[in-house]
Homo-oligomer: A and B are copies of this chain.
């Protein structure tokens, strides 16, 4: 009940150069919490706690939870390198770039979910990625207005795939859930008379046991083949 003692002088040393809060440290902390414990753990309060401060402090450096998400996505996507467009190889380059972007989005589970929620991104790193995609597409011989459409839809597909794929990965804890549901569908199909959902029953094995990455690569092949066909029409 006495007045608290003044802190011993050697404590001041660790106190004074107290790590300053920065947008960057906040984003880094958020990313490490994300990759360690999944999307649900990334709360303003949790990040603040990790930085030994109160939740309010973050709002001096970040406008929103939404803006923080966007900054996290930007930081994650900056590692994607875009190749110099080569008109001879646009098909291969396009596929490689999509696979690379999907890889980065899938690497940190949870970042794809943020990417899906953050549509129409305004952040430099993501614009660079989109620019690289457009650069390759411009070598394909497709008219300009179609290039916009193709880039838009390709980016959407990569993001959506990465989002779906990341549900099979662990630390968000939804992984078992995903497998459980596959089992449910299998059981349900078995329980059904032959004339209900006939196609799903017939394809049971291929649907439930095909792997996502294979499906994605197939979709890229199909999409690029279709683009090439469209380019041939107007040479």
By a beta-carbon cutoff of 8 Å, the part of chain A in contact with chain B is 116, 119-120, 122, 127-128, 130-132, 134-135, 138, 144-153, 156-157, 159-161, 163-164, 167, 178, 181-182, 184-185, 188, 197-200, 202-203, 206-207, 210, 212, 214-216, 218-219, 221-227, 229-230
Contact = CB atoms under 8 A, between A and B. Distances in A.
A200 B121 CA distance: 13
B148 A219 contact: no
A-B residue pairs, 8 tightest by C-beta: A226-B226, A160-B160, A222-B226, A134-B199, A153-B219, A148-B206, A225-B226, A149-B215
Contacts of A226: 221-227, 229
Nearest to A66: B177
A223 B163 CA distance: 20
A145 to B, nearest CB: 5
Contacts of A120: 167, 178, 181-182, 185
Contacts of A138: 199, 202
A122 B147 CA distance: 36
B203 A148 contact: yes
A225 to B, nearest CB: 4
